[in-house]
């Protein structure tokens, strides 16, 4: 069934998962662009995915699958109409999202399809194994192997910088000194959130140490942000932007940071995509699942699995702790996180980077 890259005109990616997964998919988009620049890449994704990948250089067209705002049949009809001009003999779907709904969409489009063996309704597709030991960005890239792209060619996730500087954000960041620490305390999943009170303690320690902190997150994460802000109080080196930015703003904000601190959630992958050292705090999940930070100089802080035997408890981390003790997060000490943060700042200072470059010469 599968053709070689030279015979393909269009690749249709189906990636309608969470924001972090969409960001991680950019590694595969970039690998395909490098291997076969003649191929037109069409991405079927969510409205938030379209906003996140605005102006991405490897994607030629974005088709929105509004799975939240419309019925499946309405949303899929709109997608099918958008793809109606594609030639079935030279178009291949790469289905990165394994859900039943994404599989139904693939079947409705009717093109040749490559997906994972673990994907729902994969009986008529060419499948690849979703290697558990690989990072998720590489696992997405495995879909390219049947087309002749080697596993080694899959590069790291990379987002594009905004075409113009956000002057409003630039003015708000200007009074903040270096090092500038971004802190994103939220997550869709409750058991992925290090308690907001601990984040508040961490931010206070960072400010006391002469660091500047900008708080990041969506409007739905204001509750955690308010706890942190109330603990910090009025401070000229603290800026709370939670709920006050959009995804386009993040493409300006994240690269401006010296270090990013967050949970196992989408900010990790923004940090990876922009090469920002990331301190990731893991609770109900573990980095071995394939979603850890990839930027140089990144660190993970978590509790050893043997110390909390129920960890990890699920792929995503449930909304609340199934055993009601939440020890995987509560046992992570603020002082330990701050020490790690300070080490990262020291290691990524201009002096340390120059020393590292000299060692590599």
- Summarised one tens digit per residue, pLDDT across range 23-46 is 999 999 999 999 999 999 999 999
pLDDT at position 119 is: 86
| Residue 360 pLDDT | 38
Q: Which is more confidently placed, 255 or 261?
A: 261
Question: What's the pTM?
Answer: 0.71
**What pLDDT sits at residue 156?**
62
Instruction: Give the burial class of 283: count Cβ atoms within 10 A of its Cβ; 0-12 exposed, 13-18 middle, 19 or more buried.
Output: buried
Determine the average pLDDT of the residues in 193-220: 96
Split at pLDDT 50, 70, 90, the class of 217 is very high
Identical fold for domains 5-153 and 167-360, yes or no, is yes
CATH 3.40.50.1010 for domain 5-153, yes or no, is: no
Residue 291: the pLDDT is 84
Provide the pLDDT for residue 355. 36
Extents of the domains making up the chain: 5-153, 167-360
**DSSP secondary structure string, 11-77?**
EEEE--S-HHHHHHTHHHHHHHHHH-TTSEEEEEE-HHHHHHTTT-TT-SEEEE--TTTS-HHHHHH
Q: Which of 262, 254, 243, 247 is nearest to 193 (CA)?
A: 262
% of the chain beyond a pLDDT of 70: 92
Q: Is the pLDDT of residue 358 over 50?
A: no
Residue 354 has pLDDT above 50, yes or no: no
Cα separation, 177 vs 270, whole angstroms: 22
**Segment 216-239 mean pLDDT:** 94
Per-residue pLDDT at 56 = 93
What does the pLDDT read at residue 249?
Answer: 86
pLDDT digits (tens, 9 = 90+) for 259-302: 999 999 999 988 988 889 999 999 999 988 888 888 888 999 99
CA 205 to each of CA 47, 172, 215, 256: distance values in angstroms, whole numbers, following the listed order: 38, 22, 14, 21
Averaged pLDDT score across all residues of the chain: 88
Q: What is the CATH number of domain 167-360?
A: 3.40.50.2000
Nearest to 187 by CA among 252, 265, 244, 127: 265
Is residue 2 predicted with pLDDT exceeding 70?
Answer: no
- Top pLDDT among 115 and 121 is at 115
Residue 279 DSSP class: E
Higher pLDDT, 56 or 318: 56
User: pLDDT category, 10, cuts 50, 70, 90?
Assistant: very high
* % of the chain surpassing 90 pLDDT: 55
pLDDT reading at 351 higher than 70: no
Calculate mean pLDDT across residues 105-112: 94
The residues with which 93 forms a beta bridge, in sequence order, are: 12, 113
Contact 240, 223 (CB under 8 A): no
Ranking 79-88, 159-168, 210-219, 293-302 by mean pLDDT, the lowest is 159-168
> pLDDT confidence of 3, banded at 50, 70, 90?
low
């Amino acid at each position: 069934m599968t053709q070689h890259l030279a015979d393909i005109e269009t690749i249709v990616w189906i990636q309608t998962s969470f924001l972090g997964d969409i960001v991680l998919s950019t590694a595969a988009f970039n690998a395909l662009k490098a291997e076969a620049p003649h191929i037109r890449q069409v991405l079927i994704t969510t409205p938030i995915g379209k906003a996140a990948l605005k102006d991405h250089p490897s994607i030629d067209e974005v088709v929105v699958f509004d799975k939240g705002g419309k019925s499946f049949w309405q949303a899929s009809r709109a997608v099918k109409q958008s793809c109606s001009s594609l030639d079935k003999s030279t178009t291949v779907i790469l289905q990165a999202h394994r859900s039943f709904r994404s599989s139904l969409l693939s079947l409705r489009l009717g093109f040749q399809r490559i997906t994972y063996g673990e994907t729902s309704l994969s009986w008529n597709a060419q499948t690849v194994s979703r290697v558990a030991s690989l990072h998720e960005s590489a696992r997405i890239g495995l879909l390219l192997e049947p087309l002749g792209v080697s596993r080694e060619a899959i590069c790291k996730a990379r987002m594009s910088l905004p075409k113009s500087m956000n002057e409003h954000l630039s003015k708000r960041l200007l009074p903040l000194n270096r090092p500038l620490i971004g802190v994103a305390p939220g997550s869709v999943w409750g058991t992925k959130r290090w308690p907001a009170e601990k984040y508040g303690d961490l931010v206070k320690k960072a400010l006391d140490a002469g660091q500047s902190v900008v708080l990041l997150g969506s409007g739905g994460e204001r509750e955690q942000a308010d706890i942190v802000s109330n603990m910090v109080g009025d401070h000229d080196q603290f800026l709370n932007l939670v709920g006050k930015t959009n995804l386009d703003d993040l493409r300006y904000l994240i690269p401006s940071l010296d270090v990013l601190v967050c949970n196992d959630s989408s900010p990790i992958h923004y940090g990876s995509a922009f090469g920002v050292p990331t301190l990731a705090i893991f609770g109900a999940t573990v980095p071995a699942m394939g979603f850890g930070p990839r930027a140089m100089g990144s660190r993970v802080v978590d509790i050893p699995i043997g110390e909390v035997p129920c960890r990890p408890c699920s792929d995503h981390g449930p909304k609340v702790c199934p055993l009601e003790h939440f020890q995987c997060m509560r046992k992570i000490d603020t002082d330990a996180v701050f020490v790690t943060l300070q080490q990262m700042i020291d290691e990524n200072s201009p002096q340390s980077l120059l020393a590292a470059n000299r060692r590599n010469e």
